[in-house]
Structure 1
Amino acid sequence: MTLRPLLVAMLAVWLAGCELLPAVPFELPSGRTTSETAAAANGCRAELPSFADDDCLLPEWVAFGLASQRGDRAWREAMLTRLEGAAAERRLARAVALSWGSQGQWDHASELYKADLSAAPVALQPLLRYWLNELEGRRAMAGRLSAAQSAQAQSEALSASLKEENADLEKKLEALTAIERSINLRQQTEE
């Protein structure tokens, strides 16, 4: 009978939902509240990410990463021409764009991430490191897939070679069998 009050309490909590959460915004480690962070994110509309504005740093880079993931080849090529330059923020933005390109671009993206990750602001480094790790994971999976396809091709070539060898041996066996029959027939006729 103690199960019924527990179920009633769970149903009340479920029905109340977010109404039970405090109305005061949560305090973030940086000292800002969640509402202040949301307000800062709404004002961040830069098309190209930069290291300039601390309030817009993460929202701009996340938005650029999502745009890179969704972008097609034409978008990526246009963005890469706009991101020319030797500045670390430009190189890291190129790395983000290249990391969602073709497999041939992944190596270059990885090199850019590794070369300039330490030049990024401390608040941005975990995100960039996460993207680098994700890229390295995709590169490793592509490498394993390539190795598996190569092994399968070798296996198929070996199988074809063995089938050909087996067919040759069957022909030789048939020829030997025919010779043996011929010898047996001669011996029978000589007797």
Structure 2
Amino acid sequence: MRLRPLLACAIGLWLAGCELLPESPFAQPSRPALSVASSSASGCQAEIPGFADEACLLHDWVAFGLASQRGDRAWRDAMLTRLQGSAAERRLARAVALAWGSEGQWDQAADLYKADLAAAPVALQPLLRYWLNELEGRRSMAGRLESVRGELAGTEQRRAALEEKNTALAEKLEALTAIEQSINLRQQTE
């Protein structure tokens, strides 16, 4: 009898999932934890992030980063057109969009990050630095992959050259064997 209420509570918690758990169990009560729901309720929905609204700074940049990661080429091209300008916030937003583009755009994104990172608000710099480091990691892996592909192509060319040389040597060996057999047959007939 006592098992039924306990089982009902366990099923209720299981169905509710993590919704009933606090977002930050160790947060100080004086500062509520920042969440996507609370930031969307407060109006943090800028399509193009900027530096002006400190309350939405991180939320807008993270949302833009996710949109850039999920966006296709058409979205990226349209966004890059909208992000023209020489302001640091526009250049950094272009860097975020370019960082998720083709490998050819990664160099440009890294240059933009490096040039304008110091102009970003202090609260945003760790996020941008993380994205720059992640981009540098992808560039490094792509470079290593290209290097391995080059080595593999070189190895394949050497293998093909050795096969040709082996075939030529096998033909010469067959010719020499035929000559030797011919000489042996003449010596036996004499």
TM bin, normalised by shorter chain, reads 0.7 to 0.9
CA distance in structure 2 between the aligned counterparts of 1:125 and 1:50, rounded to whole angstroms: 13
| 1:147 corresponds to 2:147 | yes
Where does residue 32 of structure 2 map in the other structure?
33
Contact 1:25 1:33 in 2 (8 A): no
Q: Tell me the secondary structure at the aligned position of residue 52 of structure 1.
A: coil
CA distance in structure 1 between the aligned counterparts of 2:72 and 2:22, rounded to whole angstroms: 42
Q: CA deviation at 1:189?
A: 1.6
Contact 1:25 1:35 in 2 (8 A): no
Where does residue 52 of structure 1 map in the other structure?
52
Where does residue 160 of structure 1 map in the other structure?
160
Paired residues, number: 176
| 1:176 corresponds to 2:154 | no
Q: CA deviation at 1:74?
A: 0.7
Q: CA deviation at 1:32?
A: 3.5
Could you tell me which runs of 5 or more consecutive residues in structure 2 were left unpaired when the two chains were aligned.
1-5
Moved more, 35-44 or 49-58: 35-44
Where does residue 133 of structure 1 map in the other structure?
133
Where does residue 188 of structure 1 map in the other structure?
188
**Once the two structures are aligned, what percentage of the paired residues are identical?**
66
Q: CA deviation at 1:38?
A: 5.2
- 2:70 corresponds to which letter in structure 1? R
Could you tell me which runs of 5 or more consecutive residues in structure 1 were left unpaired when the two chains were aligned.
1-10
Matches within 5 A, 1:10-21: 15=10
Q: Tell me the secondary structure at the aligned position of residue 54 of structure 2.
A: coil
Moved more, 119-128 or 32-41: 32-41
Distance 1:169 1:99, change over 3 A: same
Contact 1:41 1:56 in 2 (8 A): no
Q: CA deviation at 1:85?
A: 0.5
Contact 1:106 1:139 in 2 (8 A): yes
Where does residue 5 of structure 1 map in the other structure?
none
Distance 1:35 1:179, change over 3 A: closer
Distance 1:88 1:70, change over 3 A: same
Distance 1:26 1:79, change over 3 A: same
TM-score, normalised by the number of residues in structure 1: 0.83
CA distance in structure 2 between the aligned counterparts of 1:149 and 1:37, rounded to whole angstroms: 43
Q: CA deviation at 1:40?
A: 3.6
Where does residue 93 of structure 1 map in the other structure?
93
Q: CA deviation at 1:111?
A: 0.4
Where does residue 3 of structure 2 map in the other structure?
none
